[in-house]
A and B are shown apart, each in its own frame.
Chain A
């Protein structure tokens, strides 16, 4: 692989790593070695280029050439800034510029044995709990941003739900970026969510911006769903269009583990979501749904990989996109059925609605099947609103713009309806009502 940056570009990340490496001497030895391997790997890999298959449509050159401040402070947030993102009846966590902020986080009143805490603090105080999971799932060998995150993360959130415990209230993790205007900043929040055997938890991750200016968020979240555990995850990517967002979401499922995620993207200028699920126990099930709605010059790239490593596992993927203006969307869905993973049932669907003639979508399903008794289906569509549907609504007295908006809403509806956490669903609905022309009529009609 050809490194694409100049030596100085690499140096900035390496220098930052070495500066704070000494501060992290308290970390477990394995993790320190891992961080060193990761930064070394990054200096070899460099940032990806559009010559690489996995990055063909997503050009991260603007990130490569930006001189980010890699150690931004977590200051400058007041409670009022968080109001739009706080959910009643949830366990509220706030991460600002990659650091958990205690005063805006609700770390008490948790069910017996449940841990919800700062990853950095936990690494300092009782590292053994984390050390058996952290960095074991999200692989950085071929992924520059995972490598950078592994090397450079300072903090994030650790959630641990012990065996048999059900966490009733959703955990609402709000990642706030507080850019500083002219000087671009970069943050690498790292999260680890562990649901032990037969436990259950619902997690919401929001990404939002307070203030203006360019920045990079490159989070890595590892989710471990142990045997028979149930984890529901929601991601709301609602950052400013000045944001670069390069996320990796890594899920590992044990026997009869059940995981669902709904990934909603409407923010960010250049957004990449790598979602990797490994179904590594018999009878496990993963549901990966998503909705993206972009406009202007936004680009959103959802890169999915589902590994069926054991027999009798199900995966369902439904991603829908609405593209306006000159926006672009990429969907890459790989399903990999390992030898021996018999009775796999994998279904993948990606549907795109091009509202504007200037929007572009690249949708690419990839099936790799090495077992012979499996059911794998995929479908991908790119299209416009149905003229007959528009005419039908207009023939009932609804104006043309409102008719188009209603049908656009209808396109998104099956994702909206699948969202079980009410405030998340309401946030998405509100966004759609605001974004769609004549949204008031849509609001009336749904």
Chain B
């Protein structure tokens, strides 16, 4: 069964049409890259998948593991294994990064019918996951994202992902603004989690990331539609030619099924 089936998805915000019929299917084990110019609807797609209520779905459907996702609350989606790494992670003063993660993980475990993890087990578990993103221990005890640098925030998102162990992860421009070292750390983190029981949707503005996280599929989103899909070669082609050659056809072209 597919993890994610997006069918003819139309989304509006404040009366403006943002997604205009997106079709996309993600199967277990796959990594899909979504590329596109600014304002094409990439972040909207990510936020709609995670359940942001400010967006209105006017048409179409989203199935997650075969079940309708649209009516489900964001926390239910998370507990079912969907994860969104935010483009702009939110700072939460006074709430410790590590204790917050413990509360989040336990909410997910409870939903799965598993026992809550106690403090000792959790710490052992977290230390293991920290290695995945080479997190500094000091970031564990600091308030969530507060005073983190841009790179630390992005790494913290991948760290959250590693701890919460999702089946379907959506990464929204997790690479933007990272220096090459941080980019490698983030990519290594994602690659270490790649397996046949997990899938990724990697939203990016820059082809550079795809040198490190090699996608199975690349989709180009322009003006709310997937105008072209292909393999990693498509990303290289975009690097050469930009988006203009695709934009010309975006009004007429049919979405390409994957």
Residues on A close to B: CB < 8 A? 386-389, 391-400, 402-403, 406-407, 409-410, 412-414, 416-417, 441, 444-446
Contacts and interface: CB of A to CB of B under 8 A. Distances in A.
11 contacts: A389-B90, A391-B52, A393-B92, A395-B84, A397-B108, A399-B107, A402-B103, A406-B95, A413-B94, A413-B95, A444-B106
B225 interface: no
B243 interface: no
A394 B94 contact: no
A396 B160 CA distance: 8
Contacts of A413: 93-95, 143
Nearest to B109: A397
B74 A444 contact: no
Nearest to B105: A397
Contacts of A441: 103, 107
Contacts of A396: 78, 100-101, 104, 160, 164
A410 B78 contact: no
A444 B95 contact: no
A400 B101 CA distance: 16
Main secondary structure of the interface of A (DSSP, over half): helix
Given A410-B95, A441-B103, A446-B99, A392 B86 contact: yes
Contacts of A394: 51, 73-75, 78
Interface in B53-77: 53-54, 73-75, 77
Interface in B90-122: 90, 92-96, 99-108, 111
Contacts of B104: 396-398
B13 to A, nearest CB: 13
Contacts of A391: 47, 50-53, 74
Given A445-B99, A446-B96, 13 more contacts: A386-B90, A391-B50, A393-B92, A395-B50, A397-B79, A397-B111, A397-B164, A406-B100, A409-B95, A410-B95, A410-B143, A445-B95, A446-B99
A446 B95 contact: yes
A397 B77 CA distance: 8
Contact of A417 (B50, B94, B111): B94
A412 B93 CA distance: 9
B51 to A, nearest CB: 7
A410 B74 CA distance: 21
A417 B142 CA distance: 13
B89 interface: yes
B187 to A, nearest CB: 22
Nearest to B99: A445
A340 to B, nearest CB: 39
A358 to B, nearest CB: 22
Contacts of B52: 391
Contacts of B75: 394-395, 397-400, 403
B254 to A, nearest CB: 32
B92 A389 contact: yes
A403 B100 CA distance: 10
B145 to A, nearest CB: 9
Given A387-B54, A388-B90, A413-B143, A395 B96 contact: no
A404 to B, nearest CB: 12
Contact of B103 (A386, A387, A389, A444): A444
Contacts of B107: 397-399, 441
Contacts of A400: 73, 75
B103 A398 contact: yes
B50 to A, nearest CB: 5
A441 B101 CA distance: 11
Nearest to A416: B94
Nearest to A393: B92
Nearest to B86: A392
Contacts of B78: 394-397
Contacts of A446: 94-96, 99
Contacts of B106: 444
A417 B94 CA distance: 8
B74 A395 contact: yes
A247 B126 CA distance: 49
A410 B84 contact: no
Given A397-B79, A413-B143, A392 B54 contact: no
A406 B50 CA distance: 20
Contacts of B101: 396
Nearest to A387: B54
Interface string B77-88: 111000110100
A394 B92 CA distance: 13
Contacts of B103: 398, 402, 441, 444-445
Contact of B92 (A399, A410, A416, A417): A410
